[in-house]
């Protein structure tokens, strides 16, 4: 497995890009660890698939270099990069048996048949298709076929990296749980370098050690799931991670005082917002306590979603969401308190720390 | 009102849909929830008249429409794989059903723009579908179904190919649109969370049968059988077979769990008890939480919570714990079960008692 270096990479699909907005992928300059599990997360059109295709060699970046373990592979084809890929829709040989589909990448490389058999059996067990080994792939259901695609991506252990492009989209929810936790277990056992593109936050957060959040052609934050949840560095990350996303409320900042409408909160630090055009307070719905204490809110709607309730309310004239447990009572004269350690302050959409 | 009376669909000697009775009222949103191949699409095809039932009948507003072709009924359909006219602009794609029905241009323009605004398509009205992302194409198909003013709108996993933030927003918006239109909406999904967010009514499907139909939250809280409870669980439901004797549940190997008060009346003998993953935690939820030993398989972090996959006495469970707990595989841990939320099912799979919370909630009504 390999360390992946993205050396000042940029990409524009059109010829002669002039300004930043001509680039589908704005500058990316990062190094990803050998054996790391990375998820590229973002809405459609954010550039995540462009970045994945640059890593796999399906696409040549307009600028910059890509290195595997320090070796420049920018001009190498996908085949010569020695990677495994799993796509959103199953790519398998219908006329081959399930077993032969899985054995194909190994036999292709001249692996001894005894080793092929051992690997294939391990994978069959993992994807829960051991009973189907001798069946032809045609006639299997879409998710069985996708399990074969996944298995084929994992069957070789000598690849530089395994790239996944939304591999679980067509899988039923219950099977997603099984496959995802198996991928995670495999990663812990064998330390494959994995890059996983998804628009599903649960998949990204549970799978990856580092989640790369992309928005409008750029990486807005790379962090552990906890970092993205607790300290989103951009309001987009706050919005995109979490369901519902972070409440981002226009606020006036003066020293350590934060004012929203008629309500003023005091932080234990003075955020560095000087010169910012727009200042906002961010607080996740999970960190607002709803009860009889604190600042007044007017509750407009309570959505019972089983495990918890989402309370939609107005706070100082601004719409907010609050998450409470399934057993929680919602008082008629509801008031709220914000957990002070969970408040982030944003200046022109970027999270700011304390005034130096 | 759409009514299925004993409607069934056989293919060869197999039932794809077992004889089904179902009544859907106007102005309602009805979710068909079930895994792939459970019969959601087959059932929709019967409702639409795309397939003729092999038994029973289909009625709309009292009239028998069995066998009436789909073209003669005022129906809109949205599929998972988006379908648009590639040669027409987004505007014309949305306008097309109204052009066919001969609506005047001003009304068409108003409806197209309203639907486009709702589905965030306003900037793309002049483009053709092939110059749009997948999500934008699907929103175009949705917009067209909405403006058609159909009396029955069938949507087969319409959001499955969209990114989840957009889905989150559309799930917020769709129930409002449904409520306004007065049509009957039928919405198929494999995802329990989607059903819960949409609200309305839910019919759970299992192998060609509707196992339960009612207000979504009631079906979730008071499943009539183990299959329904399992279909309506994501993360998967945790279940275990035990023998009840007096105030203890006993496992074959002698392990025990206390019987909570709401299950005290369950007859002694073999039962399956089940609960959702968020009722199992690393810390006691109440003073009466049951303490048990389990072995970890893998843990997954979501940023604020952890899914800990466990082996409890040879049975696979998932725990959804508050906070971040990156626990190594194959470690013995202590887990706490909030027994107030246990459900009990008989050996035939029928519910004997719903979770305590559901009982309490029902008591208030």
Per-residue pLDDT of chain B (365 residues; tens, 9 = 90+): 999 999 999 999 999 999 999 999 998 999 999 998 899 999 999 999 999 999 999 999 999 999 898 888 889 998 887 788 999 999 999 999 999 888 999 999 999 999 898 888 999 999 998 888 777 888 899 899 888 888 999 999 988 777 778 788 777 777 777 677 788 999 999 999 999 988 899 999 999 999 999 999 999 999 999 999 999 998 899 999 999 999 999 998 888 999 999 999 999 999 999 999 999 999 998 888 999 999 999 888 888 889 999 999 999 999 999 888 889 889 999 999 999 999 999 999 999 976 655 555 444 43
A168 in contact with B at a CB cutoff of 8 Å? Answer: no
Nearest CB to A185: which of B134, B298, B318? B298
A300 in contact with B at a CB cutoff of 8 Å? Answer: no
Instruction: Please name the CATH architecture into which domain B235-364 falls.
Output: Beta Barrel (2.40)
Residues 194-253 of A with CB under 8 A from B: 199-202, 205-207, 224-226, 228-230, 239-245
Instruction: Please name the CATH architecture into which domain A243-351 falls.
Output: Beta Barrel (2.40)
Separation in Å, CA A20 to CA A24, A233, B110, B329: 9, 21, 36, 46
Residues of chain B with CATH 2.40.50.140: 235-364
Q: Model-level pTM? A: 0.85
ipTM over 0.90: no
Which residues are within 8 A (CB) of B117 and not within 5 positions of it... i.e. 6 or more apart?
none
Which residues are within 8 A (CB) of B166 and not within 5 positions of it... i.e. 6 or more apart?
A43, B120, B135, B139, B159
- Are A240 and A213 a contacting pair, CB within 8 Å? yes
Domain ranges of chain A: 4-230, 243-351
The 10 Å CB-count burial string (b at 16+, else e) for B236-272 is bbbbbebebeeeebebeeeeebbbbebbeebeeeebb
Pairing of strands A194-198, A161-165: parallel
CB contact under 8 A, B309 and A181: yes
- DSSP run (H or E) holding B244: strand B238-245
Nearest CB to B36: which of A45, A143, A245? A143
Going by C-alpha positions, the residue among B54, B107, B100 that lies closest to residue B76 is B100
SS3 B148: coil
**Residues in chain A within 8 Å Cβ distance of B300:** 180-181, 184, 205-207
CA distance B6 to A348: 61
Give chain A's end-to-end CA distance (angstroms, integer): 42
SS3 A159: coil
Chain B nearest C-alpha distance from A5 (Å): 26
Nearest CB to B300: which of A173, A181, A239? A181
Before B344, cis peptide (omega within 30)?
A: no
Going by C-alpha positions, the residue among B355, B55, B57 that lies closest to residue B223 is B355
SS3 A66: strand
**Residues in chain A within 8 Å Cβ distance of B329:** 185, 188
In sign, the C-alpha dihedral spanning B227, B228, B233, B239 is negative
Q: What is A4-230's CATH topology? A: Rossmann fold (3.40.50)
Nearest CB to B300: which of A199, A206, A306? A206
CB contact under 8 A, A185 and B220: no
SS3 B207: coil
pLDDT digits (tens, 9 = 90+) for A182-224: 888 888 877 889 999 998 888 999 889 999 999 999 999 999 9
CA distance B186 to B170: 15
What is the phi/psi pair of residue A176, to 5°?
Answer: -55, -45
A49, β-bridge pairs: none
Interface mutation vs chain B, best among A146, A173, A231, most B CBs within 10 Å: A173
- A/B interface, count of CB pairs below 8 Å: 103
What is the phi/psi pair of residue B29, to 5°?
Answer: -110, 125
Residues of chain B with CATH 3.40.50.300: 2-225
Phi-psi region of A70 (alpha: psi -120 to 50; beta: other; left: phi over 0): left
| Six token digits for residue A231 | 């300290």
Q: Tokens 């050998």 appear where?
A: A34
A298 in contact with B at a CB cutoff of 8 Å? Answer: no
Has domain B2-225 been given CATH number 3.40.50.410?
no
**Residue B37's closest chain A neighbor by CA?**
A141
Nearest CB to A141: which of B37, B135, B329? B37
**Residue B36's closest chain A neighbor by CA?**
A172
């Amino acid at each position: 497995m390999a360390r992946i270096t993205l050396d000042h990479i940029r990409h524009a699909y059109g010829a002669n890009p002039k300004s930043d907005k001509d680039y589908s992928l704005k500058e990316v300059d990062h190094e990803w660890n050998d054996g790391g599990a990375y998820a590229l997360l973002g809405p459609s059109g954010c550039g995540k698939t462009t970045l994945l295709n640059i890593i796999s060699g399906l696409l040549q970046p307009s600028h910059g270099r890509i290195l595997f373990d320090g070796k420049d592979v920018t001009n190498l084809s996908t085949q010569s990069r020695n990677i495994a890929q799993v796509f959103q829709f199953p790519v398998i040989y219908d006329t081959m048996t399930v077993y032969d589909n899985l054995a194909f990448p190994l036999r292709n490389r001249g692996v001894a048949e005894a080793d092929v058999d051992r690997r294939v059996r391990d994978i069959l067990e993992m994807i829960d298709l051991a009973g189907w080994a001798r069946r032809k792939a045609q006639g299997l259901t879409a998710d069985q076929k996708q399990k074969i695609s996944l298995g084929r991506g994992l069957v070789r252990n000598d690849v530089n990296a395994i790239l996944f492009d939304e591999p679980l989209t067509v899988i039923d929810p219950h099977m997603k749980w099984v496959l995802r936790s198996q991928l995670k277990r495999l990663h812990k056992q064998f330390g494959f370098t994995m890059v996983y593109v998804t628009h599903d936050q649960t998949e990204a957060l549970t799978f990856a050690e580092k989640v790369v959040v992309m928005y409008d052609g750029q990486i807005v934050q790379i962090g552990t799931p906890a970092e993205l949840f607790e300290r989103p560095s951009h309001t987009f990350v706050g919005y995109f991670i979490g369901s519902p996303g972070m409440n981002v409320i226009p606020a006036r900042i003066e020293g350590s005082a934060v004012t929203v409408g008629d309500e003023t909160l005091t932080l234990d630090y003075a955020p560095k917002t000087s010169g910012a055009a727009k200042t906002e307070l961010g607080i996740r719905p999970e960190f607002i306590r709803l009860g009889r204490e604190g600042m007044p809110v007017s509750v407009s709607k309570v959505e019972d979603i089983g495990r918890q309730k989402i309370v939609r309310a107005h706070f100082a004239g601004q719409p907010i969401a609050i998450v409470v447990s399934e057993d929680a009572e919602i008082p008629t004269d509801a008031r709220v308190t914000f957990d002070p350690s969970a408040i982030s302050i944003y200046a022109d959409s970027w999270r700011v720390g304390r005034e130096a | 009102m759409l009514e299925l009376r004993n409607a069934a669909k056989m293919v060869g000697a197999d039932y794809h849909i077992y004889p089904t009775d179902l009544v859907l009222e106007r102005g309602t949103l009805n979710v068909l929830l079930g895994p792939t191949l459970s019969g959601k699409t087959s059932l929709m095809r019967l409702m639409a008249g795309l397939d003729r039932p092999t038994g029973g009948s289909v009625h709309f507003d009292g009239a028998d429409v069995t066998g009436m072709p789909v073209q003669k009924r005022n129906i809109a359909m949205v599929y998972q794989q988006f379908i648009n006219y590639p040669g027409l602009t987004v505007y014309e794609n949305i306008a097309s059903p109204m052009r066919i029905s001969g609506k005047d241009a001003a009304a068409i323009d108003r409806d197209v723009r309203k639907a486009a605004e709702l589905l965030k398509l306003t900037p793309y009205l002049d483009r053709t579908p092939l110059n749009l992302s997948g999500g934008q194409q699907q929103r175009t198909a949705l917009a067209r179904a909405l403006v058609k003013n159909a009396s029955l709108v069938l949507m087969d996993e319409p959001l499955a190919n969209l990114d989840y933030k957009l889905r989150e927003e559309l799930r917020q918006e769709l129930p409002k649109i449904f409520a306004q239109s007065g049509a009957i909406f039928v919405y198929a999904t494999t995802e329990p969370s989607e059903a819960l967010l949409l609200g309305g009514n839910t019919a759970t499907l299992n192998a060609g049968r509707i196992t339960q139909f009612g207000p979504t939250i009631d079906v979730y809280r008071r499943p009539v059988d183990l299959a329904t409870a399992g279909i309506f669980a994501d993360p998967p439901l945790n279940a275990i077979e035990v023998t009840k004797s007096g105030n203890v549940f006993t496992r074959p190997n002698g392990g025990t769990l206390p019987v909570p008060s709401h299950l005290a009346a369950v007859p002694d003998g073999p039962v399956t008890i089940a609960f959702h993953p968020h009722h199992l935690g690393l810390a006691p939820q109440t003073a009466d939480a049951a303490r048990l030993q389990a072995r970890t398989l893998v843990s997954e972090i979501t940023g604020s919570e952890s899914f800990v996959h466990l082996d409890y006495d040879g049975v696979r469970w998932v725990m959804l714990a508050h906070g971040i707990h990156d626990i190594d595989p194959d470690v013995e841990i202590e887990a706490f079960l909030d027994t107030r939320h246990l459900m009990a099912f008989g050996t035939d799979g029928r519910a004997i008692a719903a979770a305590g919370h559901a009982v309490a909630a029902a008591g208030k009504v």
